């Protein structure tokens, strides 16, 4: 009441400020719902992928793929042309493992029982042939054998024997190394190939602890030193060449975004492979080892991704950055490296974005895998998990302020209408 005994009219300021706590609460609730939705989406993505137990590709996926076109014809030709009776896992240049995989892909797609039996015979013939070899050979050759077994399935007795062999093969001493020790010590092509076969074995056996360890090491390889940092950089024979490392005190296998050496952007480069062309220089001296190392790394990423790990996204999409660096210095894949590009295009959505690397659908298989222009042509592109980064948080705050201002103006208008202003 005022001095004249009349009711005191609330000021416009009082009216709209009364709405501020409600507006803030609504804004905070909206932010929380956005975060919860993003987390649920991420969890669903992980569950959906971890629920699929395939090592490399599932037979169900293959049933939807075409049986015509250059990619299929190339695969079918290889599957029908070569014998796979005598695989040799001790020979790092043996191609039988990839041919076994070719037969497995065709058998899974067409239901060809005779070819499936050829695959099974080749798989069982591979057992024990790693003796006398090195871990580079085993790393290159084993992964395709395991993927083939996963595709066609083995009779119970054979599967028990195969699993028994796999259960110790990653710890088998070959010329002073094991697959595990090679994966955890060597950040070069030896280590990436060892990691690919190690991941395949763990996926086939359903060994979650071994999968977690493999993923931990691989995450360290792409640059997360908090995940793993026990690699021996600089060379296995005391060379200690760190000239391609952007930070000698904290070496990594894939240089991070923004890495600069002598004024040159080396983000995405593989120091352990680049040094094989000599100490740092620009332009670099070409070496084929970079693409070979990426064969093992890409296969690791694909297997781990299918087991529920965010492997393609780690360290600012390090796998993609590595290919971008090589393309940026005009080192193009040749021979048995070309097969990778179809998978890189598919997984990173480069085809849809009009940014695809040249990919030959009839590319020969690689040192450890191949045929992805057919087998992986319909895989989904990887999508980064949507979480509120600092920039997103700023956007949400701006939206919140806008909501508050809008509600305030609405309250002001209503107040004026009620009071005849």
Residue 49 has pLDDT above 70, yes or no: no
Cα torsion 111, 112, 118, 122 to 10°: value is -30
Query: Is 305:246 a contact under the CB 8 Å cutoff?
Result: no
Domain membership of residue 413 as a residue range: 1-51+393-421
pTM assigned to the model: 0.80
- Domain-located, residue 233: yes
Residues sharing a CB contact under 8 Å with residue 75, sequence separation 6 or more, in sequence order? 102, 105, 106, 371, 374, 375
DSSP helix/strand/coil, 280: coil
Neighbours of 37 (CB within 10 A): 11
- Domain-located, residue 286: yes
Based on the domain organization, do 415 and 345 belong to the same domain? no
What pLDDT, on a 0 to 100 scale, did the predictor assign at position 114? 97
Strands 264-265 vs 260-261: parallel, antiparallel or unpaired: antiparallel
Based on the domain organization, do 34 and 58 belong to the same domain? no
DSSP helix/strand/coil, 233: coil
Based on the domain organization, do 41 and 183 belong to the same domain? no
Q: Say which DSSP state 307 is in.
A: T
DSSP helix/strand/coil, 246: coil
What pLDDT, on a 0 to 100 scale, did the predictor assign at position 388? 34
What would the mean pLDDT of 343-367 be, rounded to a whole number?
93
What would the mean pLDDT of 192-218 be, rounded to a whole number?
98
Q: Containing H/E element for 160?
A: helix 156-169
Q: At what angle do helices 208-221 and 189-205 cross, to 10 degrees?
A: 160
**Sorting pLDDT into bands at 50, 70 and 90, what band is 24?**
low
DSSP helix/strand/coil, 177: strand
What would the mean pLDDT of 279-307 be, rounded to a whole number?
97
Mean pLDDT for the chain?
85
- Domain-located, residue 380: no
Based on the domain organization, do 46 and 71 belong to the same domain? no
**Sorting pLDDT into bands at 50, 70 and 90, what band is 249?**
confident
Which of 74, 68, 60, 73 has the alpha carbon at shortest distance from 108?
60
Query: Is 178:139 a contact under the CB 8 Å cutoff?
Result: no
Instruction: Provide the strand spans (E) within 208-330.
Output: 260-261, 264-265
What pLDDT, on a 0 to 100 scale, did the predictor assign at position 394? 43
Q: For residue 201, give both structure tokens.
A: 């074995």
**Sorting pLDDT into bands at 50, 70 and 90, what band is 18?**
low
CATH number at residue 283: 1.50.10
Q: Say which DSSP state 284 is in.
A: P
C-alpha separations of 91 from 94, 182, 314, 335 in Å: 5, 17, 33, 19
Residue 21 has pLDDT above 80, yes or no: no
415 against 260, higher pLDDT? 260
**Cα 112 to Cα 75: distance, rounded to the nearest angstrom:** 14
Based on the domain organization, do 140 and 184 belong to the same domain? yes
Please count the CA atoms within 13 angstroms of the CA of 408 that sit on its side-chain side: 13
> How many folded domains does the chain comprise?
2
Region of poorest pLDDT, from 72-86, 153-167, 345-359, 367-381: 345-359
**Cα 371 to Cα 211: distance, rounded to the nearest angstrom:** 25
DSSP per residue over 186-207, as a string? --SHHHHHHHHHHHHHHHHHT-
Based on the domain organization, do 319 and 178 belong to the same domain? yes
Percent of the chain predicted with pLDDT > 90: 74
Q: Residue for token digits 């050829």?
A: 118
Based on the domain organization, do 116 and 227 belong to the same domain? yes
Based on the domain organization, do 56 and 45 belong to the same domain? no
**Sorting pLDDT into bands at 50, 70 and 90, what band is 352?**
confident
What pLDDT, on a 0 to 100 scale, did the predictor assign at position 97? 97
- Domain-located, residue 405: yes
**Cα 163 to Cα 57: distance, rounded to the nearest angstrom:** 19
State the SS3 of 366-402. Answer: CCCCCCHHHHCCCCCCCCCCCCCCHHHHHHHHHHHHH
Query: Is 366:98 a contact under the CB 8 Å cutoff?
Result: yes
Based on the domain organization, do 68 and 39 belong to the same domain? no
Q: For residue 260, give both structure tokens.
A: 């600069």
Based on the domain organization, do 25 and 151 belong to the same domain? no
What pLDDT, on a 0 to 100 scale, did the predictor assign at position 84? 97
- Domain-located, residue 384: no
DSSP helix/strand/coil, 35: helix
**Sorting pLDDT into bands at 50, 70 and 90, what band is 354?**
confident
What would the mean pLDDT of 147-171 be, rounded to a whole number?
98
Q: pLDDT tens digits for 297-326?
A: 999 999 999 999 999 999 999 999 999 999
Residue 208 has pLDDT above 60, yes or no: yes
What would the mean pLDDT of 369-393 be, rounded to a whole number?
72
- Domain-located, residue 383: no
- Domain-located, residue 161: yes
DSSP helix/strand/coil, 126: helix
Residue 38 has pLDDT above 80, yes or no: no
Say if residue 130 is exposed, middle or buried (CB neighbours under 10 Å; 0-12, 13-18, 19+): buried
**Cα 321 to Cα 265: distance, rounded to the nearest angstrom:** 12
Based on the domain organization, do 152 and 263 belong to the same domain? yes
**Sorting pLDDT into bands at 50, 70 and 90, what band is 349?**
very high
What would the mean pLDDT of 92-100 be, rounded to a whole number?
97
- Domain-located, residue 151: yes
Based on the domain organization, do 401 and 257 belong to the same domain? no
**Sorting pLDDT into bands at 50, 70 and 90, what band is 241?**
confident
């Amino acid at each position: 009441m005022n001095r004249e005994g009349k009711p005191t009219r609330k000021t416009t300021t009082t009216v709209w400020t009364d709405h501020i706590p409600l507006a803030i609460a609504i804004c905070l609730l909206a932010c929380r719902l956005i975060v919860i939705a993003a987390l649920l989406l991420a969890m669903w993505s992980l569950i959906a992928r971890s629920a699929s137990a395939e090592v490399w590709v599932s037979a169900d996926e293959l049933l939807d793929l075409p049986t015509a076109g250059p990619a299929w014809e190339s695969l079918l030709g290889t599957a029908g042309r070569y014998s796979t009776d005598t695989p040799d896992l001790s020979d790092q240049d043996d191609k039988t493992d990839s041919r076994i995989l070719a037969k497995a892909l065709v058998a899974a797609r067409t239901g060809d029982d005779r070819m499936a039996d050829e695959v099974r015979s080749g798989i069982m013939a591979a057992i024990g042939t790693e003796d006398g070899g090195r871990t580079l050979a085993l790393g290159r050759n084993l992964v395709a054998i395991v993927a083939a077994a996963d595709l066609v399935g083995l009779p119970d007795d054979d599967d028990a024997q195969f699993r028994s062999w796999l259960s110790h093969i990653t710890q088998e001493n070959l010329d002073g190394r094991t697959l595990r020790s090679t994966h955890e010590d060597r950040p070069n092509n030896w280590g990436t190939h060892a990691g690919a076969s190690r991941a395949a074995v763990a996926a086939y056996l359903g060994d979650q602890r071994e999968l977690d360890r493999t993923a931990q090491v691989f995450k360290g390889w792409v640059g997360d030193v908090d995940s793993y940092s026990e690699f021996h950089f600089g060379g296995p024979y005391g060379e200690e060449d760190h000239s391609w490392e952007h930070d000698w005190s904290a070496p990594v296998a894939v240089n991070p975004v923004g890495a600069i050496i002598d004024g040159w952007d080396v983000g995405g480069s593989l120091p352990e492979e680049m040094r094989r062309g000599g100490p740092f220089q620009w332009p670099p001296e070409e070496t084929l080892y970079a693409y070979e190392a990426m064969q093992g790394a890409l296969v690791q990423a694909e297997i781990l991704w299918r087991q529920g790990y965010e492997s393609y996204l780690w360290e600012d999409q390090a796998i993609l950055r590595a290919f971008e660096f090589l393309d940026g210095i005009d080192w193009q894949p040749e021979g048995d490296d070309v097969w990778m590009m179809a998978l890189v295009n598919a997984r990173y959505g480069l085809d849809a974005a009009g940014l695809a690397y040249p990919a030959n659908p009839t590319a020969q298989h690689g040192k450890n895998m191949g045929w992805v222009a057919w087998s992986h042509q319909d895989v989904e592109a990887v999508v980064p998990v949507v979480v509120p980064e600092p920039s997103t948080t700023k956007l949400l705050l701006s939206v919140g302020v806008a909501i508050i201002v809008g509600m305030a103006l609405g309250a002001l208008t209503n107040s004026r209408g009620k009071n005849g202003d």
